[in-house]
Amino acid sequence: MNSQYSGITDFIHGVSGQDLPADVLHQARRCLLDLIGVAVAGTATALSHIIRDHAYRQAGGSAQSSRLLFDGRRVGASYAALANAGTIDSMDGHDGHRLVKGHAGAAALPAVLAFTDQRSLTTVEDLLAGLIVAYEVSLRAGIVLHRTAADYHSSGAWNALGAAAVGARLLRLDPEATRHALGIAEYSAPRAPMMRSIEHPTMVKDSSAWGAQAGVNAAYLAAGGFTGAPAELMEAHPEIDDLGQRWRITEQYFKIYPVCRWAHPAVQAGLSIRANQLIQADQIDDVEVTTFAAAARLHTAAPQNTEQAQYSLPYALAAALVHGKLIPENVLHPRTDADVLRLSQKIRLVPSADMTAEFPAQRRAKVQITLKSGHSYSVETTDGNPEVPLSDATLHEKYRQNTQMLDGRRSEAISDIIFADAATPLNQLMGLITEPP
């Protein structure tokens, strides 16, 4: 155990931006940039509009409340976390961790922002340190949950604990109240059956919106004296003992495409064939995708909305083959893209026992495209592992693509502040990410 931290509560309250390793801080900046970019793209979805309006109707109007991302309205803190996490989760392009098969950042950033307007966050460094605490606690809770629970639970089941942890930090709870906050969050977190959302895609997505809200509520309840049962995911597990030694945030992957990551290897393989063989979609007669069993369940061939499109391997691959790219606008209105829908009907998914055995440590897919001429081409890929991270340049290009609806100067100003001196006043960033596009 790092002598600097004697336990989970000591870590939550003791992390200082000035003491964090340079690579950890840099990764936190990358996560922050990516989440903000995805949030901008997400504001165009019906999910985001509905959940932001819901938050304002239920808890809007107070000057002491928290701000909604790229909206301008103020709502109660837990509803801000709900809506902001929903906006990020609405466009499935945010970062993740393969061992938890889900997403910490979608709840971590909204949780930090929920307290920003009321608490003592003054610099970008303060925000980054809080973000890191939320990631580190969330990811360990997720790893433990996946190891100890029989079912595959959604991200909200464990990222709620990271939201509670940063809430306890920013509310300056004592160790006992902090443990109660974690316990309340674990007890009230949405342990939703993730594969139900995969097979029947709707706006509940990965339940990160409810995880963020549960965690923020837990911190405020603990601050008021509310008690919670001990958080089993945070007690006496080896994953907790390396806090401050192993930084799980550095193991995050970043998505290139705004769809479920399980579809990424197939999309990557398809784009490789398209580019190398100079083929056009109307030349294609048949497409076979061999991949791991979970990815083969992303089988919706004719999605009717953006949620179904984001959880459809055939549609994602068809969109990439038709357009030569896969960006947010390709999944916003799937019913209007006749060429993509036509091609998606030709795509067959075949589960592989070998690829399934490697999951989740590896995510592989083999795509075989047969043309009307009889020629056939195949490529196998493993995509997006953290051992080969996206470069800063690639991540910035993705961010620019996601923030096209912003004025170019505003988009660059956000990026500049995130990567500027950590002592930059946080209010310079908050105005840029809360006012409407």
Same domain, 247 and 267: no
Same domain, 325 and 421: no
Query: What residue numbers bound the domain in which 290 lies?
Result: 261-382
Distance of CA 99 to the CA centre of its chain: 14
pLDDT, residue 5, reads 64
What is the distance in angstroms between the CA of the first residue and the CA of the last residue of the chain?
46
Q: What is the mean pLDDT of residues 74-93?
A: 97
Same domain, 224 and 123: yes
Q: What is the mean pLDDT of residues 318-347?
A: 96
Same domain, 237 and 378: no
- The tally of domains found in the chain comes to 2
Number of neighbouring beta carbons within 10 Å of residue 165? 34
Does any domain span residue 308?
yes
Range 403-407 contact pairs with CB under 8 angstroms and sequence separation of 24 or more = 403/36, 403/37, 403/40, 403/41, 405/40, 405/41, 405/43, 405/44, 405/437, 406/40, 406/437
Among candidate residues 409, 392, 410, 411, the one with its CA nearest the CA of residue 401: 411
Same domain, 156 and 273: no
Same domain, 402 and 318: no
* CA–CA dist 69, 415 (Å, integer): 16
* Residue pLDDT, tens place only, 374-393: 999 999 987 656 677 889 99
What single string gives the DSSP state of each residue in 312-354? -HHHHHHHHHHHSS--HHHHH-GGG-HHHHHHHTTEEEEE-HH
* CA–CA dist 103, 386 (Å, integer): 14
* Residue pLDDT, tens place only, 121-162: 789 999 999 999 999 999 999 999 999 998 999 999 999 999
Q: What is the mean pLDDT of residues 22-49?
A: 98
Helices in 207-312 by DSSP H: which ranges?
A: 208-223, 238-241, 264-277, 293-296, 306-310
Burial string for 188-206 (b: 16+ CB within 10 Å, else e) reads: bbbbbebeebbeebebbbb
Same domain, 324 and 363: yes
Does any domain span residue 388?
no
* Residue pLDDT, tens place only, 213-238: 999 999 999 999 999 999 999 987 88
Same domain, 244 and 178: yes
Write down the pTM of the prediction: 0.95
Task: List residues bridging with 364 in a β-sheet.
Answer: 382
Does any domain span residue 199?
yes
Ranges 319-323, 383-387, 432-436: which has the least confidence: 383-387
Percentage of the residues of the chain whose pLDDT score is greater than 90: 86
Average pLDDT, the chain: 94
* CA–CA dist 256, 430 (Å, integer): 26
